[in-house]
C-alpha cells in the first residue's frame, strides 16, 4: 500500500461505518478515470500479471488495473491446484492495493465445475470438483441437492478468490435446436424457478456477505426463444421471437431469482422481433432493462451486459463483430450512450475506457450518471468484504479445492442424474440393465481402462455379449470458423450414415446407448433398435459404468421433451414449452431399477 492512503483515518476503510456511508466517502475521492474503470468488466487470463493474452487480444491485467483503473475481471483458465490459484489471486490483489485508492479486485468466472469446454460459455473443471451440467440437476429436480452443489462450488470459489459467479443461466429451453441449452435447467419454467432459488442460496447464503459468491443471473429477459435455434453470439442468430406470445413464461425464473436475492443480472444479446419492445439487443433496450427489470420487477442490483456489445474483434483468427444487434450503424461511443441510457452498469468484455472518458469530458454522459452505477458496484465490493479481506489463505485453498468428499459428491450427482429412457428385455428374459460383471463388452466412447474394472473388453460386436456406445447429441458441422464451431447448432437428427452404423451394431449384439444431451436429440428409432438408452448431462465413464453395472441406480427425469423429428421442431412455436408434436419421450420421463 502506498503512503497516499492512510487506512486509519479514511472512512471508506472503516468497517464499523454503514456501507452506504463508506460508498459515498470513496466515491467522493475517486477521479473520473477511477469511476470509468469501474464500469468495465472484461476477461483476464491466468498468467503472469504483466503478460497479455493474444488469443483474445487482451493486454496484461497489470496494465488494465494501473492504466485503465479497472477492478472487475472474468478469469479465463486455471492453475493446476488451489495453492497456485490462490497465490496468483493474492499477487493480483497486492498490485491493486498498491494504487492510490487501493480498490480491491473482484474476480468473476463462468461455470467451471462441469464438462463443457466452450470458452465463451463455460470452462472445464480443472482442479475443482466435477459435477453434471445444470441440466443434470434439472433431471434430479431437487432444489436442496442443487443448493448443496452451489455451496460446495461457493467454498471452492471462495478459497481461490472468485467472488462473482457469471451464472446461473435460467433461460428456458423452448427451442430445442438452441446451442446454449446445456447451461440451463431445461424447458419447464416452474422447475427452473424452484431450482434457481436453491442455486442462489447456496452461493450467496441468506444474504450477500463476506462468505458469499455473488450470482450474476442470465440472460434477462430469457434467451431461449431464438429464431430457428440460432445463437445471438453471431449475426445469423440475432433475432429473438415470440410467435406464441409467451414472454411472461420466460420471465418466471427471473422473478424467482430476484425474490431469492440475486444481486446481478446479465441481459442477452438477442434482438426482440415483432413485440412492443424496441428491436434492439437487450443490452441496449431501455424498455427491457429500465421499464421492465427495474421499474416493474423492482431489481436494484447490478446490470452487466453480455460480453462484447461495443467493439469488433478477431478471435481464433475469425472476425467477431460486436453484438450490437439493431444498432450496428451506431458508432462505438453512440452504442455506449444507448446502453447507459437503457440502464446498464457495466460493459462486459470491453476495454474502451477512453471512449467513456471522452463522452463524459464532452458532456455527452454526465458524471452523475456514472455515479449511479459506481455506487452499485462499490456497494457490492463492500458487501462481499473485499476491503477487509482482499486476500485468501493459500494453504487452505490447497485443501479445499478438489477436496475428496466434494469430488465424491460430484461423482454421485453425475451418476444419479442419468436418465434411463428404455430398458428392454433380452430374449424375453430380464431387462438388459443392470449388466452383470464380467460380461464381454464391445465399447465406443468409453475408456478401456475404466471398463476393464467391470467387464471383459473385446474388439468387435461379434465377440461381445453386449455393446456399450457413449455418443453425443447430433449437430451440424458448419465449419464457419472461429468460436462458432464450438456452438452445437442445426439439425437434431443423426446423419443417415451414422444412424445406420449405430443401428447395425444394435442389430448385431444387445446394445446399450448412453447419449450426452447438451440439447435434445432426435433418436430416430435408435430407442427401439437398442436394448437400453440412457441420457447423461455431463458424466464421466466411471459415473456411467457405476449405473450400467448396478452399483448405483439412475434417478434422473428428462428436463425437456425429446422431439420426434426436425420437422416437428420447425413446426413448433419457438417461445412455447412442450410444443413439438408427438415427442418420442416427454419431460419427466425416466425409468428406475
How far, in Å, CA of 455 to CA of 467, rounded? 11
Q: Domain of 511: which CATH number?
A: 3.40.50.1700
- Residue 435 cell numbers, joined: 449388466
Residue 483: predicted pLDDT: 75
Q: How many domains does the chain have?
A: 1
Is 138 inside a domain boundary? no
Please report, rounded to a whole number, the percentage of residues in the chain having pLDDT higher than 70. 97
- Residue 268: the pLDDT is 96
Annotated catalytic residues are 306
For all residues of the chain together, what is the average pLDDT? Answer: 95
> Cell for 24?
459515498
Residue range 33-58: average pLDDT? 91
Q: Which pLDDT tens digit goes with each residue over 291-330? A: 999 999 999 999 999 999 999 998 777 888 999 999 999 9
Q: Is the pLDDT of residue 412 over 60?
A: yes
> What is the structure's pLDDT at 2?
41
d(CA 583, CA 504): 24
Range of weakest confidence among 59-73, 108-122, 189-203, 336-350? 108-122
pLDDT for position 55: 74
Q: What is the pLDDT of residue 9?
A: 74
* Residue 293 forms part of a structural domain: no
pLDDT for 8 equals: 60
Domain span at 506: 404-571
pLDDT band, residue 7 (cuts 50/70/90): very low
Strands (E), 326-389: 347-348
The pLDDT assigned to 123 comes to 65
Is residue 5's pLDDT more than 50? Answer: no
* Verdict on whether the full-model pTM lies above 0.85: yes
Interval 544-576: pLDDT, tens? 999 999 999 999 999 999 999 999 999 999 999
* The three cell numbers locating residue 565: 423429428
Looking at residues 17-40, what average pLDDT do you find?
Answer: 98
Residue 540, in any domain of the structure? yes
Tens digits of per-residue pLDDT, 209-225?
A: 999 999 999 999 999 99
Residue 196 to residues 209, 252, 261, 366, 467, Cα–Cα distance (Å): 19, 11, 11, 36, 38
- In the predicted model, what is the mean pLDDT of residues 13-31? 98
Query: How many angstroms separate the CA atoms of 122 and 125, rounded?
Result: 9
pLDDT of residue 107 exceeding 70, the answer is yes
The single residue listed with the C-alpha cell 458441422 is 477
- The mean pLDDT of 480-487, rounded to a whole number, is 80
Structural domain contains residue 269: no
Nearest Cα neighbor of 389 from 400, 381, 399, 378 is: 381
| pLDDT above 80: residue 1 | no
CA atoms of 278 and 474, how far apart (whole Å): 35
Q: Is residue 132 part of a domain?
A: no
Confirm whether 176 is domain-assigned: no
Amino acid at each position: 500500500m502506498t503512503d497516499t492512503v492512510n487506512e486509519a483515518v479514511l472512512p471508506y476503510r472503516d468497517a464499523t461505518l454503514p456501507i452506504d456511508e463508506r460508498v459515498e466517502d470513496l466515491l467522493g475521492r475517486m477521479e473520473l478515470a477511477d469511476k470509468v474503470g469501474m464500469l468495465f468488466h472484461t476477461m483476464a487470463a491466468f498468467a503472469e500479471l504483466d503478460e497479455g493474452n493474444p488469443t483474445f487480444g487482451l493486454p496484461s491485467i497489470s496494465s488494465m488495473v494501473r492504466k485503465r483503473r479497472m477492478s472487475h475481471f472474468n478469469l479465463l483458465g486455471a492453475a493446476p491446484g488451489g495453492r497456485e490459484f490462490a497465490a496468483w489471486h493474492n499477487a493480483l490483489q497486492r498490485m491493486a492495493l498498491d494504487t492510490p485508492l487501493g480498490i480491491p479486485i473482484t474476480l468473476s468466472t463462468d461455470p467451471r465445475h462441469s464438462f463443457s469446454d466452450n470458452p465463451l460459455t463455460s470452462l472445464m473443471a480443472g482442479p475443482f470438483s466435477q459435477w453434471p451440467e445444470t441440466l443434470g440437476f434439472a433431471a434430479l429436480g431437487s432444489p436442496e441437492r442443487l443448493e448443496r452443489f452451489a455451496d460446495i462450488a461457493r467454498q471452492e470459489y471462495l478459497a481461490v478468490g472468485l467472488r462473482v459467479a457469471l451464472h446461473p443461466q435460467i433461460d428456458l429451453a423452448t427451442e430445442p435446436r438452441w446451442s446454449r441449452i446445456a447451461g440451463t435447467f431445461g424447458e419447464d419454467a416452474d422447475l427452473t424457478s424452484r431450482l434457481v432459488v436453491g442455486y442462489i442460496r447456496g452461493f450467496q447464503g441468506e444474504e450477500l456477505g463476506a462468505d458469499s459468491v455473488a450470482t450474476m443471473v442470465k440472460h434477462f429477459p430469457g434467451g431461449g426463444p431464438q429464431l430457428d435455434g440460432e445463437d445471438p453470439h453471431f449475426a445469423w442468430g440475432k433475432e429473438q421471437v415470440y410467435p406464441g406470445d409467451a414472454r411472461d413464461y420466460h420471465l418466471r425464473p427471473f422473478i424467482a431469482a430476484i425474490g431469492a436475492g440475486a444481486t446481478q443480472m446479465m441481459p442477452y444479446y438477442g434482438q426482440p422481433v415483432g413485440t412492443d419492445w424496441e428491436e434492439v439487443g437487450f443490452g441496449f433496450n431501455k424498455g427491457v432493462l429500465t421499464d421492465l427489470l427495474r421499474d416493474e420487477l423492482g431489481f436494484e442490483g447490478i446490470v452487466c451486459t453480455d460480453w462484447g456489445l461495443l467493439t469488433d474483434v478477431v478471435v481464433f483468427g475469425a472476425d467477431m463483430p460486436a453484438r450490437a444487434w439493431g444498432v450496428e450503424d451506431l458508432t462505438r461511443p453512440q452504442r455506449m450512450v444507448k446502453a447507459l441510457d437503457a440502464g446498464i452498469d457495466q460493459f462486459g468484455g470491453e476495454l474502451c475506457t477512453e471512449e467513456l472518458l471522452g463522452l463524459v469530458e464532452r458532456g455527452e454522459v454526465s458524471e452523475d450518471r456514472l455515479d449511479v452505477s459506481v455506487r452499485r458496484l462499490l456497494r457490492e465490493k463492500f458487501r462481499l468484504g473485499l476491503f477487509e479481506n482482499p486476500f485468501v489463505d493459500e494453504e487452505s485453498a490447497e485443501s479445499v479445492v478438489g477436496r475428496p468428499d466434494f469430488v465424491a459428491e460430484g461423482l454421485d450427482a453425475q451418476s444419479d442424474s442419468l436418465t434411463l429412457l428404455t430398458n428392454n428385455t433380452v430374449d424375453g428374459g430380464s431387462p438388459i440393465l443392470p449388466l452383470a460383471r464380467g460380461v464381454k463388452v464391445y465399447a465406443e466412447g468409453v475408456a478401456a481402462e475404466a471398463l476393464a474394472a467391470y467387464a471383459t473388453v473385446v474388439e468387435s460386436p461379434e465377440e461381445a455379449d453386449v455393446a456399450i456406445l457413449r455418443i453425443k447429441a447430433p449437430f451440424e458441422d458448419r465449419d464457419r470458423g472461429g468460436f462458432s464451431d464450438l456452438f452445437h447448432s442445426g439439425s437434431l437428427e443423426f446423419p443417415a450414415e451414422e444412424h445406420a452404423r449405430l443401428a447395425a451394431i444394435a442389430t448385431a449384439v444387445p446394445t446399450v446407448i448412453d447419449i450426452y444431451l447438451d440439447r435434445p436429440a432426435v433418436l430416430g428409432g435408435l430407442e427401439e433398435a437398442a436394448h437400453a438408452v440412457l441420457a447423461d448431462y455431463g458424466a464421466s465413464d466411471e459415473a456411467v459404468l457405476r449405473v450400467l453395472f448396478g452399483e448405483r441406480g439412475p434417478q434422473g427425469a428428462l428436463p425437456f421433451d425429446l422431439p420426434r423429428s426436425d420437422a416437428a421442431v420447425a413446426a413448433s412455436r419457438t417461445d412455447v414449452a412442450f410444443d413439438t408434436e408427438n415427442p418420442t419421450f416427454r419431460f419427466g420421463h425416466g425409468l428406475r431399477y
